[in-house]
Structure 1
Amino acid sequence: MRDIIHLFADRDSRDELGLGQIRDALSDALFPGTSTLHTRARYLLLVPWVFQEAAKRLNPTAEVDRMERRLISAIHDSEDYAGLLGMQAGAALKTLPSSIYWSMLRRYRILSDSSLRMQDALILDGQRLGGDDLSDATRHRFHAWSSTMPRAPIGFPTVVAGGFALRHEEAAWLCERILDAVPGTLMAHFAINPPSPDSQAPWAEPSTQYLSGEAKAYLGHARSFSAVMHGAQLLYNLMLAEQHQDAGFDSDRDFVATYRDELDVWAERLPGDVDVEMWNIEDLLVRVHSERGAPVHPRSVRFVRDWRDLLRDTPPAHLLSHPRARKLISDRERHNKGPQARLGNRRRLQSWGGSSGSGAMTFRWSSVRTILTDIHNGLDREPEPDDA
C-alpha cells in the first residue's frame, strides 16, 4: 500500500476543493482508460501474458497471484525497472498490477471481451467452445485476450527481457490498439505525435496546435479549467499557510511568502492562458455531464461558476486579500470535507505539510506521458528478427 500512497502523493489526484468530478471527466475524455496509478506501458502486455500462462496451470488463481509477484523481482533485475509497482513492498504488494490495469485492458480491447472479469479470463481462456468438430482444436477454443497480441518473451515470467522497455513489435501493437480503440482523442493524437519527455502539461506540446474536433475542444476546456481553478487552489493553500503560521506551528519554509509569490505569478499568467470573459463554462459542463453519464454535484458547479464570475469582476492580482474570494474558498472546503476541513481547525492544521492540492491540474499527464514515451521509444528501436 505504500507504493499506492506514493503514486497518489506525486500526482494531481488530491481533491481538496471538490473539483475531482470535472477534472476526472476531462481526463477520461482526453486520455480514455488511463489512471494516475498507471506507471509503464508494458504492463498492458505483462498482465495478459501472466494470465495466459496461469490459465494453463491446474490452479490458475493461485498461479496468477504467484506469477504477478514473481514479476516484481524479475523486472527489478532488469535494466529498465523505473515505475515498478512493488519496488518497496516486493512480493508483499497488496494491490497487484492486474487490478490497477484491468480497466485499461478493457478500454483498449486487449481483452477480447470488455465484460470479462479477472476470474473469467483465468477460467475461460483456452476452454473448448461448443460444437462437434474437433478437427481444429485451436479454432474452437475461447481466447480471453486479443488474438493479435505479441507473444511473451522467452523465459517469461521468470525472466523479463528488457524490463519495461518495449520491443518494436510490442510498441507498434499498442499504438494500433490506441488508434483503433480511441480514435479522435488526444491519446490517439499523441500515439502518432510523440510528446516531449519533460513537458509539464499536454497543451504545452507544439503538436497540439494542429488538433481539431472534439480533441481540440476538450483540451481547450482542460487548459482553461486548470488555469482558472489554480488560483483557487493557491489561495486555499495561502489561507492554510497563514492560519498554520498564526497558530504558532513551526515550519522550515515561509509558506505564506511562497504562496503569495505563486499567486502573483498565476495572476500575471492567467490572461495569456485563458480569456475568462469568453470561456464558455456552460459548454464545459455539458461535455462533462455527457462524459460522466451523470451530472456534476451542484455545489461543485456553483463553486466553479462563482469563482469564474469573481475573476470577471475582479483583477486576478486583487484576489489574494479579497474577502469574497476567501469566503468562497472557506465555504467550499467546509462543504467538501466536512469535519476533515483544515481551515479553522487547529488539530487538522497541525498536520498540514505545506501543500494540499496546490499543483495545477494536468489531467494525468505525467502518467500518460510516460506510457506514450514508452511506446515511441519502442517504435524507435530496430525490429528484432522474430518481430516480422
Structure 2
Amino acid sequence: MTSQLAWLDFDAEQQRRTREMLRLFEEKESRDELGIGQVRDAFSDLMFPGMSVLLTRARYFLLVPWCAAAADRTARQRRPQSLADVERRVVLTLLAEAPDDFGIIGARAGAKVKNLPSVIYNQALERYGIARAYVDDRTALEEELGEEVTRRASGRWVPSVPPAPPGFPDSVVGGLRVEADEARWLTEQIVSACPTSFLAHVLQSSEPIDEVPWAWSHPAVTDADSETRAVVQDAELFSLAMHGAALLYNLLIAEKYEAADLTSVVGPVDRYRSRIDEWAETVSGHPRLSSWDTASMWARVTNQNPRIQGNPRARLFISTWLGVLGELAGMADRADLRALVRDREISIKGPQSRLRHDKLLRTWAGASGSRRLDFRWTNVRTIVSDIHAGAESASAGA
C-alpha cells in the first residue's frame, strides 16, 4: 500500500466536537436542551481557539509529545511500544507519584482508560502549532480512529518542545505541575498561534484568574483590541439573554413535574419562578443590552462557523427570544414565550422530550441545561492558571 500525506482537520475536529458534546450531555446543567450549541461553540472558538471542555491540565500539552518521543525510542526494540502504551504507563505513574493531582486523565480507569490524552488534546496541539496535522498512512489512521491516533509522519512535533523530565515515562517529576521553562514556552506557543484571541490576552495578563467567575469579568477585556472586546461583550450578552430561555424551559418541566405529584425535587416551580425574576431584574439593569448590535453579533458567529447559516430554525428561535428582552414583565407566564420554548425543545428531541415523555420526567434531577453559558471558561481558567503558576514559580525562585 502506498503511503501518502493526508490532512486530518475535519476528522480531528469531528472527534473533538463529538466528545465535547458527550461531555456536556453528562453535565445536566450544561446540556444544550434548546439547540443553541452552534452559536455557543462559535463564541467559544472565537474567544478561546483550541480549548475544549475535555481539557483538564496544561501540562498535557507537553506530556503527549513526551509520550510520543518515548514510544519512538522503542521503535527498533523487540517489543516496540505505541503512543497508547506509553500514555497508559504515564497514567499509572501519575496515580502513583501524584495521586492528589486534579485532572489526571484516567484517574478512575487507570491503564484501561479509553479516551487518551493524545486524542483529547489532539485538536489543541495542532491549533497551537505543537503538533503538525499530517500522517504518512491515512488508511492505518482510519483503522485506529475509534480509540486513538497513534501513527504520525516524522516531524509530527515542533522541535522546540521542552525536554521531558529525567526518568520519564516511569517517573513524572512535578506531576501535572507546569515548570517555569514549560510555562514560558507554552505561553509563547499559544500566543504565537492565536495572537489576537482573548485567550492570548488572558494568558499574557498578570491579573489573578482563579476567582474570576466569567470571561467578561477578567480585567484583560479592557486592554483587548476593539474587535476582541466586541466578541467578549457579545458573548456576555448572549449568555445573559439565553439564560432566561433555559430557566423558562426548566420552569415548564418543573410545573409538569409537580403536576405529576413527583416529589424527589423539592419546590422546583417556586425556585425557577424566583430565578426568572432575578434574571429579568439583571437584564433590565444591564447597561449595554438595550444598545446591543445583534446584527454584528450574527456576522461574527456565522463568520466563525458558516454552518450556522444553514440552521434557520435555531436562528429564528434565538432571534425571537432576543426580540422580547425589552418586554420582561410577566415573562414566566407569557403564553407566546412558553410556546416558543416548548416547541423548540420538542422539535429537537421529538419523543425524547421531557415535556412529552413521562418516564424522562420522573428522572429529572431539578436542572436540565439551566446553567448560564460560560464558553469553556472553567477549563480555560484551569489551563491558564497552571501556566501562570509555572511562570510565577520562576519569579519566586529568582
TM-score (norm 2): 0.85
Query: 1:340·1:348 contact (CA, 8 Å) conserved in 2?
Result: yes
Q: Deviations over 1:62-103 (max 9, x none)?
A: 432221111112112334620111111111111111111000
Q: Distance between the aligned counterparts of 1:283 and 1:61, measured in 2?
A: 54
Query: What is aligned with 1:37?
Result: 54
Q: Distance between the aligned counterparts of 1:149 and 1:306, measured in 2?
A: 49
Question: Structure 1 pair 72/384, CA: closer, same or farther in 2 (3 Å)?
Answer: farther
Q: 2:96 aligns with which of 68, 74, 77?
A: 77
1:342 aligns with 2:354: yes
Q: Distance between the aligned counterparts of 1:263 and 1:192, measured in 2?
A: 37
Q: Distance between the aligned counterparts of 2:238 and 2:222, measured in 1?
A: 18
1:96 aligns with 2:116: yes
Q: Which deviates more, 270-279 or 176-185?
A: 270-279
> How do residues 210-229 of structure 1 correspond to structure 2 at under 5 angstroms?
210-229=223-242
Q: Which deviates more, 6-15 or 157-166?
A: 6-15
Q: Distance between the aligned counterparts of 1:61 and 1:103, measured in 2?
A: 26
Q: Distance between the aligned counterparts of 1:44 and 1:150, measured in 2?
A: 11
Paired amino acid for 2:221 = T
Query: What is aligned with 1:191?
Result: 203
Q: Which deviates more, 249-258 or 360-369?
A: 249-258
Query: What is aligned with 1:139?
Result: none
Q: Which deviates more, 49-58 or 183-192?
A: 49-58
Q: 1:17 aligns with which of 34, 45, 59?
A: 34
Query: What is aligned with 2:176?
Result: 164
Q: Distance between the aligned counterparts of 1:294 and 1:4, measured in 2?
A: 17
SS of the residue 2:337 aligns to: helix
Query: 1:8·1:37 contact (CA, 8 Å) conserved in 2?
Result: no
1:308 aligns with 2:328: no
Paired amino acid for 1:164 = L
1:279 aligns with 2:265: no
Query: 1:73·1:90 contact (CA, 8 Å) conserved in 2?
Result: yes
Deviation at 1:3, TM superposition (A): 12
Paired amino acid for 1:213 = S
Deviation at 1:344, TM superposition (A): 3.0
Q: Which deviates more, 197-206 or 20-29?
A: 197-206
Question: Structure 1 pair 72/123, CA: closer, same or farther in 2 (3 Å)?
Answer: closer
Paired amino acid for 2:333 = S
> How do residues 201-240 of structure 1 correspond to structure 2 at under 5 angstroms?
201-240=214-253
> How do residues 1-388 of structure 1 correspond to structure 2 at under 5 angstroms?
9-10=26-27, 13-58=30-75, 62-79=81-98, 81-111=101-131, 113-116=132-135, 123=151, 142-193=154-205, 194-273=207-286, 275-296=288-309, 297-312=311-326, 314-315=327-328, 317-382=329-394
Q: Which deviates more, 359-368 or 74-83?
A: 74-83
Q: Deviations over 1:232-289 (max 9, x none)?
A: 0011011111111111122142211221121111111113446443212221111111
Q: Which deviates more, 195-204 or 10-19?
A: 10-19
Q: Which deviates more, 99-108 or 72-81?
A: 72-81
Percentage of matched positions with identical amino acids: 38
Query: 1:26·1:288 contact (CA, 8 Å) conserved in 2?
Result: yes
Q: Distance between the aligned counterparts of 2:41 and 2:308, measured in 1?
A: 13
Q: Distance between the aligned counterparts of 1:147 and 1:36, measured in 2?
A: 28
Q: Distance between the aligned counterparts of 1:76 and 1:383, measured in 2?
A: 29
Q: Distance between the aligned counterparts of 1:162 and 1:333, measured in 2?
A: 47
SS of the residue 2:105 aligns to: coil
Aligned residue pairs total 366
SS of the residue 1:381 aligns to: helix
Q: Deviations over 1:139-165 (max 9, x none)?
A: xxx422111110000011111111110
Query: 2:35·2:314 contact (CA, 8 Å) conserved in 1?
Result: yes
- Misfit runs of 4+, over 4 Å: 2-8, 10-13, 59-62, 116-125
CA RMSD of aligned residues (A): 2.7
Deviation at 1:205, TM superposition (A): 1.5
Deviation at 1:195, TM superposition (A): 4.5
Q: Distance between the aligned counterparts of 1:200 and 1:209, measured in 2?
A: 16
TM-score (norm 1): 0.87
